[in-house]
A and B are shown apart, each in its own frame.
Chain A
Amino acid sequence: MVASHVDRRAAPEEVVDLALRMARGEAEALYLARDAALTRFAGSRIHQNVSEHDATLRLRVMDGGRTGVASTNRLDDQGLAEVVARAQEICRRSAPNPDMPPLADADAGCGESELGYVPATAEAQPDRRAEGARAVIAAAHAGNLVASGAFSTEASTIAIANSNGLRSQHATTQAKLLTVMTGEDRASGYAQAISTDIASIDAAAVGEEAADKALRSVGASDLEPGAYDVVLEEYAVQTILEYLSYAGFSALAVEEGRSFMELGRKLMGENVSIWDDGNDPSGLPSATDFEGVAKHRVDLVTDGVATGLVHDSATARRASIGSTGHALPAPNTFGPLAWNLFMAPGSSSKDAMLSSIDRGLWVTRFHYVNIVHPRKAVLTGMTKDGTFLIEHGRIVRPVRNLRFTEEIPAAFSRIEAIGSETKMVGAEYSGINARVPALRIGRFAFTGATAAESGE
């Protein structure tokens, strides 16, 4: 068992079992614990260095169609008794909901898992993160650049038990280092590494990648918006998949008519396959969802055809199938979510993608993407930290950031080459991480620019 100093009072399984015993009737106990530390640097110095230890118990009690949920981070006997009383009181006063699905069956759980738990990551000390920050800062100094970024480490535990006898528990770790390097004349570069194992984070390599990109982006100049053939680096591709997941990989999104997905219909090019797999160790594993159901692989798009949706207990019940293990903490009105995404690699190198473009753009990453039209999966966002004009198969100059507004399924029907290698990329805002290849897409729609006279 993983020893966490978040809660020295009791092991997770003891907390959830005690809460269930106190609740007596039909109930589900969800325990979430997190030991997280983050070292943040800017202007080439560490300006934030924080550590957090927290554990929360969320109790759902059900009685005759009524439900009450209460949570607390006071995990002593008095705190647990109080949260049980609050959940029962809310349940008692609530209106019944005849459509509320029952708690998950005992055999739906994942048991006890440590897939993706690396002790070295859990035990990383502040000086280890400071060392990584220094390596990145050194790479910036070598290029006369300024480094900003963050090096974080985290160990987390999720444990779920319910009155049907289900028991699921998963402990995992994550280390993430990212940097933006800036310099004179609009130089800007980005790099990121993320893994369950801190030993695989090569801080010097992250620093070199960002510095190289920043130095090549010095003197970025205007470019007219329009439709350009693009090479999207893995960072940009992860962001697109993240927002596709928000927009429509969920069964509830389809039920409610807000998704672009239509099972059995060809939505994208035949070279596109996307799936969700919480048990693939090459990602950032999650063995269980928040209802305690073991995560199953779901093939979302296969050879361009919509083939699957992620489910929680509620959507699965309505579809007369089993949950795929993608529930958020219940009850919630957003529905299930795919957060362990993968996209199938192709056979191309990024160099080959570049050389095949007569006139186009190289995009490192996107910034502040949002959903303009969920039903059609239209996204907008800005390019950031390394956007380059390609002419006759090679990069000729850096360009100022451009805004794209694009219907993604249509764009993914114009993918002309897919990288043979994939990279694990951590989400910027959400927990929707993805292992993805780079893409070459024809005529990607850029709808706006920030010209020099605008003050950029």
Chain B
Amino acid sequence: MNELIDHALDVAEQAGASYADIRISERETESLTVKNGALEAASSNLSTGFGVRVLVDGAWGFAGSAVMTPREIERVTAEAVEIARASGLAGGEPVRLDDTPPQVARYATPVEEDPFGVSVDEKLRILFEADAAMAAVKGIAVREGTVEAARERKTFASSEGARIEQELAEAGAGIEATAVGESEQQVRSWPNSAGGQHVTGGFEAVRRMELPANAQRIAEEAVALLTAEDCPSEVTTLVIDSSQMALQVHESCGHPIELDRVLGMEASFAGTSFLTLDKLGQLQYGSPLVNIDADATAPGGLGTFGFDDEGVPAQNVPIVSGGQFVGYLTSRETAPVIGRRSMGSSRASGWNVIPLIRMTNVNLRPGDAGTLDELIADTDDGLLMSTNRSWSIDDRRLNFQFGTQAGWRIRKGQLAEMVKNPTYTGITPEFWGSCDAICSPSEWRLWGVPNCGKGEPMQTHRVGHGAAPARFRNVQVGVGRW
């Protein structure tokens, strides 16, 4: 392995690269899905390969291959150099990297119970138990449950002398019950929608989800939603549960703080950002209660690692402090633009793609509003919304609209009837400015988002968001009639 790495870096240097790095990665995943009482899918996937990234005359080139031979490494490195020379044809300012010191290190995700070591029988026992509990509820048309595990071993080396080995482990699981009525279909999920909850760590996280214990409740809620009243269309007080808060942070804070997006590098695909450079340290992003950080060191986060894919150590940096916008997610190429060193958020979803600025764990810090029950008791009139169903936000991350699976009216400090098809909409800084309560640390959860898309070719990556339930005033809910 070391010989192959040295050979790639030598070839790159001899071909004229001023900088080169190579990532070698092996990612293994295993997935079991039980649907309607039967094992619908059981799969195991393995992908190995390497990618070489070079700077030639200040322009980037990248090539990757799954064939791990000296000859192929030579060919791919030469191709990366050729591509970099073609990049230079279009002109532009030369790329300069920050002065992050090269690291020689190892990192491994702490794991209590290896998810690949847990038997299929045990995983199926959990899924079938949950399935049976959902099946017992009359009116449920579709039941589904999934358990997943992933392990990635990767080596990073650069012409500057970095040499880092990491082994990252992930586990995830979730269940979903779908009720179907005359002209309605309603879904409830646990612990979260879009495949459930995902963490870095071991199978202990799946056990803590208690899928069977929550299965009947979510199934009953799905059925109850069929006959619930539609979410009212009004401006009201909105309490959002912690999993939906995670997606709120993701879309309206996590993406607009990506510095490559701010600098226009994503303009043709995902868009740009309203958090332009002049806003750094100047903009009141939210109310003084709002504190957000990007923490790649948070235990269990899906965006937790030892080093990013440029070899920068994992860090925890402030993004919003007392409501003021103070930080971006950066890479070695972009951090110098704001006079800083990379905070370590350059990540590639696989060996075959280049690292881009990606979220780590962008976390909303907890407040002091107590438990969710206490926050509801403190709310005279409004709505509680739970578990994401749909999301949409404009290309500068200002105008958003979310739908959730379930809603409840809050009347005189108590949860009242359910409402179906809840939606809410807002403008990012106005919305965060209206935040007047965030629950205490006991309600804070670190959620995994395993399906964050960015870049061309699109990279689907795994990121995390910690959040506690929070309350917002004067929010438009119940958007559109149908």
Contacts and interface: CB of A to CB of B under 8 A. Distances in A.
Task: Indicate, yes or no, whether A interacts with B.
Answer: yes
Interface of A: 6-8, 36-56, 67-74, 82-83, 86-87, 90-91, 93-100, 125-127, 129-131, 133-134, 137, 146, 148-150, 152, 178-180, 182, 256-258, 331-333, 367-376, 378, 380-382, 384, 401, 403, 405-407, 410, 428-429, 445, 447-451, 454-456
Nearest to A47: B265
A454 B92 contact: no
B394 A97 contact: no
B269 interface: yes
Interface in B59-94: 59-67, 79-80, 82-84, 86-93
Interface residues of B, number: 87
B398 interface: yes
Given A49-B60, A71-B46, A368-B394, A99 B87 contact: no
19 contacts: A36-B457, A43-B92, A47-B60, A47-B92, A50-B457, A52-B353, A67-B41, A68-B44, A69-B41, A72-B46, A126-B83, A256-B141, A257-B142, A370-B392, A382-B395, A384-B271, A401-B394, A447-B425, A451-B427
A56 B352 CA distance: 13
Contacts of A134: 89-90
Given A368-B395, A403-B394, A86 B458 contact: no
Given A54-B66, A333-B144, A401-B399, A42 B479 contact: no
B453 A429 contact: yes
B178 A46 contact: no
B390 A372 contact: yes
B274 interface: yes
B268 A148 contact: yes
A180 B268 contact: yes
B182 to A, nearest CB: 10
Given A45-B93, A69-B44, A456-B274, A372 B423 contact: yes
A69 B42 contact: yes
Contact of B394 (A41, A131, A367): A367
A130 B83 CA distance: 9
A96 B124 CA distance: 12
A448 B458 CA distance: 28
Contacts of A129: 86
B62 A428 contact: no
Given A46-B60, A368-B392, 5 more contacts: A54-B47, A90-B42, A126-B82, A126-B86, A384-B395
B14 interface: no
A70 to B, nearest CB: 4
A403 B401 contact: yes
A333 B277 CA distance: 44
Contacts of A55: 66
Contact of A95 (B38, B90, B425, B456): B38
B427 A454 contact: yes
B361 interface: no
Given A368-B395, A447-B479, A49 B87 contact: yes
Contacts, number: 284
A49 B86 contact: yes
A153 B60 CA distance: 18
B318 interface: no
A50 B62 contact: yes
Nearest to A126: B86
A182 B121 CA distance: 56
Contact of B421 (A37, A42, A373, A382): A373
A99 B38 CA distance: 8
A127 B86 contact: yes
Contacts of A133: 90
The CB with the most chain A CB atoms within 10 A, among B87, B95, B401, B479, is that of B87
Contact of B185 (A90, A374, A410): A374
Contact of B264 (A43, A70, A97, A125): A43
A130 B87 contact: yes
Given A93-B120, A130-B87, A53 B65 contact: yes
Q: Is the interface of B mostly helix, strand, loop or mixed?
A: mixed
B391 interface: yes
A96 B49 CA distance: 34
Contacts of B317: none
A427 B271 CA distance: 16
Contacts of B35: 333
Interface pairs A-B: 6 shortest CB-CB: A45-B92, A257-B180, A405-B480, A126-B86, A148-B267, A69-B43
Contacts of B183: 375-376
A129 B86 CA distance: 9
Contacts of B180: 256-258
A83 B64 CA distance: 22
A435 to B, nearest CB: 22
Contacts of B141: 256-257
Contacts of B142: 256-257
Contact of A448 (B49, B271, B274, B479): B479
Contact of A73 (B46, B92, B391): B46
The CB with the most chain A CB atoms within 10 A, among B38, B401, B458, is that of B401
A46 B90 contact: yes
B403 A148 contact: no
A45 B93 CA distance: 8
Contacts of B271: 367, 384
A152 B90 contact: no
Nearest to B430: A454
B268 A150 contact: yes
A50 B83 contact: yes
B90 A407 contact: no
A43 B66 contact: no
A38 B124 CA distance: 42
B48 interface: yes
A41 to B, nearest CB: 6
Contact of A90 (B43, B63, B95, B353): B43
The CB with the most chain A CB atoms within 10 A, among B35, B268, B453, is that of B268
A374 B93 CA distance: 47
B263 interface: yes
Contacts of A97: 38-40
Interface in B151-198: 178, 180, 183-185
A180 B264 CA distance: 10
A258 B59 contact: no
B399 A448 contact: yes
